[in-house]
Structure 1
Amino acid sequence: MIGYIHSVESMGLVDGPGVRAVVFLQGCPLRCLYCHNPDTWTGGGTEFTPEALTAKLLRFRPYFSRGGGITFSGGEPLLQPEFLAEMLERLHTTGVHTCLDTAGAGLGDYGAILRHTDLVLYDVKHHQAEGYRQITGQDMDRTLAFVEAVREAGVPMWVRHVVVPGLTDGEDHLAALGDYISTLPNVEKVELLPYHTLGVHKYEALGIPYALKGVPPMDKTKLEDWERRLNDCCCRNTDK
C-alpha cells in the first residue's frame, strides 16, 4: 500500500490540541475559492508506505507528552481512505492521539477511519447547498454523509469555518451558521478562521487564476465576539 504525501509538519500548534505532527495528504476534490494549498489538489506528492510514514512520525513522539499527537490533513485526507485508515490504526494502537482535519469530502469506509480517530476537525464550508457549491464547486452529499458517520461513531468534533470579507462574514450568515452547527454531533469547540492571502503566490506559480483577487485579509479581532457566541450556544462542552 502506498500513500501520497504533500508534506509533513513536525511542530504544528493550530491543528488540534497540543504540539502535533501534521501530515498533509495529496489530493482534493474541492476547489474552494479561498484555498491556500492549490498544490495539493491533484496528483504528485511523495510516496510512503504505512510502515515508513509511521516510523517517521513516531520520531516526533517526545513532543506529544502534553496532550499533542498526530493530525492528518490535506488536501482532503479522506481521498486516500485505505491508506488513512491503516495509518490511523497503526498510530492509535501505539497510544498516540489521532486527529483528522477534513471537509468530509472523501471516499471509502468512514467507519474504519473514525474507529481510530480521537478528534475530528470538521471544516464547514457553508451551511446551505447553494453557498456550499458557490465556495467549493461541489454538492454537499459527501460531507453530509461524513457528518452522519461521525454521529454514529461518536467521535468528538471541533468545527472550523473560514470567514471571508463580503462572502461569509455577514451577521445573517454567522447566525445561520450557528443554527447549523447546533445540529452537528459531538461539537466541543468552534473556531472561526480569518481569511488570509498567504497562498496567493502559489496560484501565480501554478498559472491558476485566483478567484478572490483583491479581497483583503479578515481581521481576526472582528471575529472574537462571534466565536465566543458560537462556542456558548453550539458546544456540548464550552469550557474550552
Structure 2
Amino acid sequence: MTLGRIHSFESMGLVDGPGVRSVVFLQGCRLRCQYCHNPDTWSMTGRNVQEMSAEELVKKLSRFKSYYGKNGGVTFSGGEPLLQKDFLLEVLPLCRKAGIHTCLDTAGCGIGGYEEILAYTDLVILDIKHYTREGYAQVTGREIDETNRFLGAVQKINVPMWIRHVVVPGLTDGDSHLNGLKDYIHTLKNVERVELLPYHVLGVPKYEKLGIPYPLEGVAPKDPESLTDWQEIMNDQKEREK
C-alpha cells in the first residue's frame, strides 16, 4: 500500500475540469516555473502534508458523488501529480470502480509509468509551459523531454485533453508566441478545449513567507480581457482543422 502525500483538498471545484469536482492537490514538483504561485508544493514532504491511502481517499471522494452529477468527478492536481506514480496506480482504478470520473491536471513532468496511469484516466488537463525546447527551459528551469514522453503516451492512448497555457508579459505573450502555440496545438489530437490563463501575482506572499526570491518581481498581472480574441481563436474548431 502506497500512501499519497496530499497538500490540500478542495471539495467543490468548478474550474479544474468538467462539472463539479473534488480537487486533490498532491505534493511535489520538479519544475521551477518563473510564475509558479504554489512554491509550497515543491517539496515532496512539505510542512502540512497529509498522508492518505488510496482506499481512504476514494471513500472520502464517494461522499461527494451526489454533487458530481453526470460530468463531475475528481481532479488530481499539484504540484505535479505524476511524481506520485505508485499512489495514482492505486487510486485511479479504485475511482473507476467507484464510478468517479478522473482527471489529471499536470505539466507532464513525472517519473514514468504513464501508459499505466492513463489507462485509468478519463481526461488530461495539460499545462503547456512552452512549445519550444529553449522556451521551456527558460520558463521551468528543466528540459522538455519528460513532458514530451508523457504527451506521447497521451496521444498513443487517445486520452481527451484540455490545454492550459499561462500568458506572462514578456515571457509567454505576444502575437508571435501565441501564433506559435496555436500551430503547436494543431499538431495534437483529442484536444477538446484551450484555456489561456492570464498571469497573476496572488502567489507572491508565499515566496515572502518561505524566504524565496520571486523570479518575476515587478511584472504586472496580465489583463484577462487582452486574451479574449486569442481565446476564441484557439477554440475555433474550423481553425484547428486547417
Determine if the TM-score, normalized by the shorter chain, exceeds 0.5. Answer: yes
Alignment correspondent of 2:30: 29
Gaps of 5+ in 2: none
Report the CA distance shift for 1:67/1:175 in structure 2 as closer, same or farther (over 3 A). same
Contact 1:9 1:23 in 2 (8 A): yes
2: distance between equivalents of 1:104 and 1:185? 16
Contact 2:62 2:98 in 1 (8 A): no
Deviations 1:176-211 (A, max 9, x none): 001111112211100000111111100000000000
Gaps of 5+ in 1: none
Contact 2:29 2:44 in 1 (8 A): no
Alignment correspondent of 1:224: 228
> Is 1:181 matched with 2:181?
no
Deviation at 1:66, TM superposition (A): 4.2
Contact 1:187 1:235 in 2 (8 A): no
Alignment correspondent of 1:195: 199
Alignment correspondent of 2:75: 71
> Secondary structure of the equivalent of 1:47?
strand
Deviations 1:106-160 (A, max 9, x none): 0121111101111100000001000100000000000000111001111000000
Alignment correspondent of 2:3: 2
Contact 1:98 1:119 in 2 (8 A): yes
Moved over 4 A (4+): 233-236
**Count of matched residue pairs:** 236
Deviations 1:4-55 (A, max 9, x none): 0000000111100111000000000000000010000003221111111111
1: distance between equivalents of 2:36 and 2:225? 22
Alignment correspondent of 1:94: 98
Alignment correspondent of 1:123: 127
TM-score by length of 1: 0.96
Return the letter of the residue paired with 1:226: W
Partner residue of 1:136 out of 136, 140, 144: 140
Moved more, 89-98 or 122-131: 89-98
Contact 1:19 1:66 in 2 (8 A): no
1:103-182 counterparts in 2 under 5 A? Answer: 103-182=107-186
Report the CA distance shift for 1:96/1:151 in structure 2 as closer, same or farther (over 3 A). same
TM-score by length of 2: 0.95
Alignment correspondent of 2:211: 207
Return the letter of the residue paired with 2:189: P
2: distance between equivalents of 1:23 and 1:235? 32
> Is 1:46 matched with 2:50?
yes
Deviation at 1:235, TM superposition (A): 4.9
2: distance between equivalents of 1:120 and 1:43? 22
Return the letter of the residue paired with 1:31: R
Deviation at 1:57, TM superposition (A): 1.5
Deviations 1:87-113 (A, max 9, x none): 111001211111000000001211111
1:7-22 counterparts in 2 under 5 A? Answer: 7-22=8-23
